[in-house]
């Protein structure tokens, strides 16, 4: 949904006119951006999922991949698949350092700061599928779209209304919108769980059953 439409929804929910000098359009926009940042940290929402188009293959002998290799908007890794069907296991960085002198097909990864470390160190160029949570930028134009899906836009509106009410120092209104947000947040979590596909069973080939 476009910025101008979400802003209008906030005004309607708050009962604010476009002539209100205490809450101007730029103020609402800034509070909407703050609301977006808060919501984005609450859950791995499906609208934040992306496939990395920058990091698509390993480099033989390289086990650390940083800003020059990864998508510029990468915030959090969901999963990494190597060689089309081998999903890497997430570990703490210190736990995979024991493999730093080993080479071969990568089995593990650790995300720390702005880097991803994989182990063992790849001995060849393997295909990489890196699914991640991205960091949306602030929309700059009235016609720019928010990352949040339209069916979940009430989550953004409710949170923005809380921030607007606090700016107006209206604690009762902030509490009311806080209750609305809690209901909406619970409903959105349920919606995401219902629409998420069940994981595909993984089979082992190194034992006598699969």
Of 200 and 23, more confident: 23
Per-residue pLDDT band for 207 (boundaries 50, 70, 90) equals very low
Per-residue pLDDT band for 196 (boundaries 50, 70, 90) equals low
pLDDT beyond 80 at 197: no
pLDDT beyond 80 at 203: no
Q: What percent of the chain has pLDDT over 70?
A: 92
- Specify the long-range contacts of residues 152-158, CB closer than 8 Å, at least 24 apart: 152/45, 152/47, 152/188, 152/191, 153/1, 153/6, 153/9, 154/184, 155/39, 155/181, 155/184, 155/185, 155/188, 156/6, 156/32, 156/35, 156/36, 156/39, 157/6, 157/9, 157/10, 157/13, 158/13, 158/184
The pLDDT, as a whole number, for residue 70 is: 97
CA distance 167 to 23: 9
The pLDDT, as a whole number, for residue 20 is: 87
Give 145-181 pLDDT, tens digit per residue. 999 999 999 999 999 999 999 999 999 999 999 999 9
Mean pLDDT of the chain: 90
Average pLDDT over residues 20-27: 92
Burial (0-12, 13-18, 19+ Cβ within 10 Å), 58: buried
Q: Count the Cβ atoms, other than its own, within 10 Å of residue 77.
A: 18
Per-residue pLDDT band for 64 (boundaries 50, 70, 90) equals very high
Per-residue pLDDT band for 195 (boundaries 50, 70, 90) equals low
Give 80-108 pLDDT, tens digit per residue. 999 988 999 999 988 888 887 899 999 99
Q: Count the Cβ atoms, other than its own, within 10 Å of residue 187.
A: 13
CA angle 189, 198, 37 (to 5 degrees): 30
Question: How is 109-135 classified by DSSP, letter by letter?
Answer: EEEETTEEEEESEESS--BEEEEEEE-
Of 193 and 108, more confident: 108
Kindly report whether the peptide bond that precedes residue 120 is cis, defined as omega within 30 degrees of 0. yes
The pLDDT, as a whole number, for residue 138 is: 87
């Amino acid at each position: 949904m476009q910025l101008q439409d979400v802003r209008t929804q906030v005004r309607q929910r708050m009962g604010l006119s476009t002539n209100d000098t205490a809450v101007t359009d730029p103020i609402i926009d800034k509070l909407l951006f703050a609301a977006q940042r808060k919501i984005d940290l609450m859950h791995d929402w499906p609208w934040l999922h992306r496939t990395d188009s920058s990091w698509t293959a390993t480099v033989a002998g390289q086990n650390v991949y940083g800003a020059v290799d990864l998508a510029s908007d990468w915030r959090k890794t969901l999963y990494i698949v190597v060689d089309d069907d081998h999903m890497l296991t997430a570990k703490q960085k210190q736990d995979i350092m024991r493999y730093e002198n080993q080479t071969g097909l990568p089995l593990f990864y650790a995300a720390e700061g702005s880097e991803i470390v994989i182990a063992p160190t790849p001995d060849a160029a393997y295909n990489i599928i890196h699914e991640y949570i991205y960091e949306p930028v602030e929309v700059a134009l009235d016609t720019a779209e928010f990352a949040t899906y339209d069916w979940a836009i009430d989550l953004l509106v409710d949170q923005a209304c809380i921030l607007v009410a606090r700016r107006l120092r209206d604690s009762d209104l902030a509490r009311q919108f806080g209750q609305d947000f809690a209901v909406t947040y619970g409903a959105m979590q349920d919606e995401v769980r219902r629409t998420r596909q069940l994981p595909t069973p993984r089979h082992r080939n190194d034992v006598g059953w699969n």
